[in-house]
Amino acid sequence: MALLNIAEPGQSPLPHQTKRAIGIDLGTTNSLVAAMQAGRAAILLDEQGVAMLPSVVNYTDAQMPLVGSGALALAVRHPADTLMSVKRFMGRGNRDAAGDAQRSHYELAEDEEGLVRFNTSSGERSPIEASADILRVLHQRALATLGSDIDGAVITVPAYFDEPQRQATKDAATLAGLRVLRLMNEPTAAAVAYGLDAAEHGVIAVYDLGGGTFDISILRLHKGVFEVLATGGDTALGGDDFDAALADWALRDIGSPSLAPGQYRQLQAAARAAKELLSNEAAVDLDLSGVLPSGGTIRVTREVFENLVQPLIKRTLVACRRCMRDAELDASIDNIIMVGGSTRVPLVREAVADFFQRPPLQGIDPDQVVALGAAIQADILVGNRPEGDLLLLDVIPLSLGIETMGGLVEKIVPRNTTIPVSRAQEFTTYKDGQTALAVHIVQGEREMVNDCRSLAHFELRGIPSMVAGAARIKVIFQVDADGLLNVSACEETTGSQANITVKPSFGLTDDQITTMLQASFSHAGGDKIARQLAEQRLAGWQLLEGLKSALTADGETLLSAEDRAAITAPMTELQALLEGQDADAIRTLTEHLGRQSETFANLRMDKSIREALAGVSLDTLDDEVLQ
């Protein structure tokens, strides 16, 4: 008799059989891939023994795009064909990305959906396609190193990436032939690497300043549980901006000549090289070869460079202060983890140490720590180490909700809620006979829809025709472990339902990312007043709609002309008030009209009871009661 070989879900049926999983840090400037080898997470190297793959793709040759250092070498000669820092364009629209594209000398293509696409010699290319080409090279490197199929990958993203940016990352991975086990926040991945290696517990700040993005996360580590208390950051701030600041300074110093795209790329590369040298030197020469016909150099001191980047560093500290406030903590942090190559700038380390009043940890290469943490988590998720299962509790960065009548926002999932999460809330219809409901999903902290970001729309149809307020519609928000949102609506009496997976056409703009949270605080007083006005207007409109319907049906039969006038006069007055801004006056008149119409409401109720009892004898009622 044969036995059926079984195993726990996600685990191999053979104790000695190990699955292969990888962790990928898909970075703005450089990308890495790591895997567990001999019980430890290790970075996988290419054939030349190099760990970092430049996140650059060149499309000059339509048949064979170049990825990495080969593509980077063509950036000067073919700037429009060489896509760099594409991570900054993931999930964004043309209008949002126009500034970054102009500075990088990209030619944006027109897209019907509004998504960013680049004009190249090989045709139009999207950030998703470019990211897929980068991921494909990392996938091939893992196959060559590990010598077997890859069972899954954990890919890291900035903690502040929103739904379209995360979905774009997953689409790129799928296009590259990777099975995504999970998208993992970069700060959380760094905490996993340090938490396992150093067995740290307590509250940790993860300061992640990469090539194109900045993230700050506050995490609590305790007994294998990594809980993100709060996140913040800026998806358009990083080492690339340090390079641009130095390059623009150099342009001003040499008289602001007009540069061709290739020349500006050359200047950016020279600025990046000078920046890296200034981490260890007091002064360096910025090479102008390829920038000016005469070539030459410019002497740059560390002091000049620090003055240029000081405002950028201050922007990161503002985000740190906001994140600490969100986590309801003072400056008492147990440890600070530095992530990203830009944290090697001495002024960055000094500023962070001063802010948190303790030196940061430096035990792991800041360029590699994210990939290493992702590899550890991938090994767990693929089922190789169930005994070491870690619980990662990330949070959503901005509140999610829907629009209600009056342009109000009803928050269903508040910001900094731990994910994955499922939240439900009941709503009802606004008008009599309403058979459909438009659901508008929004993201943000403000009270009014116009001040928040629109994510998606969908409609629920098939609602039974009944009086306003009688229908029961349950709206469910589900955010998965990758931060992707699914919204469903169901009318409970009929079971009619509709749903949508939120995949908007573009991501947050740079200004939205940096100001949305600040705006929620600075406009708190005004938003409260605006919401009160909207709520009073809504109450007034609902009362007017109900009275108009009632007067049409029973006004002539149940009320005298004098009684009707006593109701219609304040109705006309309220109608005019609703166009104004006086919430107190609207509330006072609404309450007065409600009292004025109570007698009419009682008469209608008596009429309904009489009609319901017409033709029914008391004996019949007694029998029904006894039964």
Pick the closest to residue 459 from 471, 443, 441, 483 (CA basis). Answer: 441
pLDDT at residue number 16: 47
518 part of a folded domain: no
- Output the six-digit token pair for 6: 């079984």
Q: Are 290 and 417 within one domain?
A: no
For residue 411, list its beta bridge partners.
Answer: 401
- Per-residue pLDDT, averaged over 79-108, amounts to 72
334 part of a folded domain: yes
What is d(CA 25, CA 367) in angstroms, rounded to the nearest whole number? 9
- Does 99 have pLDDT greater than 60? no
pLDDT at residue number 350: 95
| Lowest pLDDT segment from 211-215, 293-297, 400-404 | 293-297
Q: Are 295 and 315 within one domain?
A: no
Of 377, 395, 413, which residue sits at a domain end? Answer: 395
pLDDT at residue number 10: 43
Spatial contact of 539 and 577, defined as CB atoms under 8 Å apart: no
pLDDT at residue number 547: 79
pLDDT at residue number 383: 78
For residue 115, list its beta bridge partners.
Answer: 93
Residues belonging to the active site: 25, 87, 186, 208
For residue 298, list its beta bridge partners.
Answer: 286
pLDDT (tens digit, 9 = 90+) per residue, 567-611?
Answer: 888 888 877 777 777 778 878 878 887 787 877 777 777 777 777
Q: Are 262 and 150 within one domain?
A: no
576 part of a folded domain: yes
pLDDT (tens digit, 9 = 90+) per residue, 37-64?
Answer: 888 899 999 999 999 999 999 998 877 8
Predicted confidence band of residue 2 (pLDDT cuts 50, 70, 90):
very low
| Lowest pLDDT segment from 90-94, 305-309, 419-423, 462-466 | 90-94
- Break the chain down into helix, strand, coil percent, rounded to 5: 40, 25, 35
Q: Are 180 and 262 within one domain?
A: no
Block residue for tokens 């147990």: 334
Buried/exposed 419-457: b ≥16 CB within 10 Å, e otherwise: bebebeeebebbeeebeebebbbbbbbbbbbebbbebbe
CA angle 47, 51, 52 (to 5 degrees): 115
pLDDT at residue number 98: 58
12 part of a folded domain: no
Q: Are 184 and 326 within one domain?
A: yes
Q: Are 368 and 422 within one domain?
A: no
Pick the closest to residue 94 from 505, 470, 383 (CA basis). Answer: 505
Q: Report H helices in 551-597.
A: 556-558, 561-577, 583-596
CA angle 42, 44, 45 (to 5 degrees): 130
Q: Which residues neighbour 132 within 8 Å (Cβ) at sequence distance 6 or greater?
A: 171, 172, 173, 175, 176
- Output the six-digit token pair for 52: 């970092």
pLDDT at residue number 22: 95
Predicted confidence band of residue 105 (pLDDT cuts 50, 70, 90):
low
- Does 282 have pLDDT greater than 60? yes
Of 308, 326, 350, which residue sits at a domain end? Answer: 308
Give Cα separations from 209 to 140, 197, 214, 348, 352 (angstroms).
28, 22, 5, 9, 11
What is d(CA 261, CA 239) in angstroms, rounded to the nearest whole number? 20
Q: Which residues neighbour 105 within 8 Å (Cβ) at sequence distance 6 or greater?
A: 79, 80, 261, 264, 265
Three-class SS state of 309 = helix
- Does 278 have pLDDT greater than 80? yes
Spatial contact of 407 and 444, defined as CB atoms under 8 Å apart: no
565 part of a folded domain: yes
Pick the closest to residue 506 from 162, 195, 237 (CA basis). Answer: 162
Q: Are 100 and 181 within one domain?
A: yes
Of 395, 412, 433, which residue sits at a domain end? Answer: 395
63 part of a folded domain: yes
Looking at per-residue pLDDT, the higher value among 335 and 623 belongs to: 335
pLDDT at residue number 67: 93
pLDDT (tens digit, 9 = 90+) per residue, 344-366?
Answer: 999 999 999 999 999 998 889 99
* Average pLDDT taken over every residue of the chain: 80
Residue 462's domain spans which residues?
Answer: 400-508
Q: Are 232 and 327 within one domain?
A: yes
Q: Are 36 and 137 within one domain?
A: yes
pLDDT (tens digit, 9 = 90+) per residue, 483-509?
Answer: 778 888 888 888 888 877 765 433 444
pLDDT at residue number 591: 81
Looking at per-residue pLDDT, the higher value among 156 and 404 belongs to: 156
- Does 116 have pLDDT greater than 90? no
For residue 118, list its beta bridge partners.
Answer: 108, 125
In DSSP notation, 391-458 reads EEEEE-SS-EEEEETTTEEEEEE-TT-EESEEEEEEE--SSTT--EEEEEEEESSSSBGGGSEEEEEE
pLDDT at residue number 19: 82
CATH of the domain at 609: 1.20.1270.10
pLDDT at residue number 619: 56
Q: Which residues neighbour 537 within 8 Å (Cβ) at sequence distance 6 or greater?
A: 406, 578, 586
CATH of the domain at 298: 3.90.640.10
Q: Are 329 and 411 within one domain?
A: no
- Per-residue pLDDT, averaged over 383-405, amounts to 71
CATH of the domain at 382: 3.30.420.40
Three-class SS state of 84 = strand
2 part of a folded domain: no
Q: Are 292 and 321 within one domain?
A: no
Q: Which range has the top average pLDDT, 251-260, 267-276, 387-396?
A: 267-276
In DSSP notation, 167-190 reads HHHHHHHHHTT--EEEEEEHHHHH
Predicted confidence band of residue 145 (pLDDT cuts 50, 70, 90):
very high
Block residue for tokens 């500075």: 103
515 part of a folded domain: no
Spatial contact of 394 and 417, defined as CB atoms under 8 Å apart: no
pLDDT (tens digit, 9 = 90+) per residue, 517-533?
Answer: 455 445 555 656 766 77
pLDDT (tens digit, 9 = 90+) per residue, 530-566?
Answer: 667 777 777 777 777 777 878 887 777 788 888 878 8
Looking at per-residue pLDDT, the higher value among 602 and 302 belongs to: 302
- Per-residue pLDDT, averaged over 284-305, amounts to 85
Predicted confidence band of residue 474 (pLDDT cuts 50, 70, 90):
confident
Locate the DSSP E strands across 74-150. 82-84, 118-120, 123-125
pTM of the complete model: 0.61
- Does 126 have pLDDT greater than 60? yes
**What is the domain count for the chain?**
4
